[in-house]
């Protein structure tokens, strides 16, 4: 299979890589651009550890072909750099939203998408919205509390 050259913006920075055509976005980020904050768990679209933002929407980087991202904008956990991300990190820390941290990059990218929507979600809605991200450690309660608190703080900050 031939190599392909991909040009995309990652965390606000233009990047170019020439990779085998079957390379996933996760492997492009980790192995070629050395952004290892994006974790790989199941590599089959189940665990959510590899979640990144692609053109404004969270996606599974393990199931996304890098070649399909040519010209796109990608944000990884390393690029979550705004007041919402600061709130999220503080809330995860305060509410016990992480233990081993393996799920945390994908969880933060998914949660950041929720926080920036500025929509209040009840506990069931938060559980549903985060159902695509698996955590083996926390039992989810701290994560749900943290995301709910970060949404509330984001709305309050703009009031």
- Please report, as ranges, the residues that interact with ligand FES according to CB under 6 A: 40-43, 45-50, 60, 62, 98-104, 135-138
* Closer of 8 and 50 to ligand FES (Cβ): 50
* Closer of 9 and 99 to ligand FES (Cβ): 99
Nearest distance, CB of residue 124 and ligand FES, angstroms: 20
Nearest distance, CB of residue 63 and ligand FES, angstroms: 6
Nearest distance, CB of residue 27 and ligand FES, angstroms: 11
CA–CA distance, 25 with 70 (Å, rounded to integer): 10
* Closer of 83 and 101 to ligand FES (Cβ): 101
* Closer of 59 and 149 to ligand FES (Cβ): 59
Nearest distance, CB of residue 59 and ligand FES, angstroms: 10
Q: Which CA distances in Å does 52 have to 23, 26, 73, 116, 156? A: 16, 9, 10, 15, 26
């Amino acid at each position: 299979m031939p190599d392909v050259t991909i040009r995309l913006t990652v965390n606000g920075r233009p990047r170019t890589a020439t990779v085998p055509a079957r390379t996933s976005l996760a492997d492009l980020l980790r192995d070629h651009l050395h952004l290892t904050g994006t974790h790989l768990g199941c590599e089959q679209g189940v665990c959510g550890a590899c979640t990144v933002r692609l053109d404004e929407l969270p996606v599974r980087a393990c199931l996304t072909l890098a070649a399909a991202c040519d010209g796109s904008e990608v944000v990884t956990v390393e690029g979550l750099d705004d007041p919402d991300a600061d709130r999220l990190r503080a809330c995860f820390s305060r509410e016990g939203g992480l233990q081993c941290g393996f799920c945390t990059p994908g969880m933060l990218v998914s949660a950041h998408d929720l926080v920036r929507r500025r929509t209040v979600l009840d506990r069931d809605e938060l559980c549903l919205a985060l159902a695509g991200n698996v955590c083996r450690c926390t039992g989810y309660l701290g994560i749900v509390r943290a995301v709910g608190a970060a949404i509330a703080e984001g709305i309050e900050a703009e009031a």
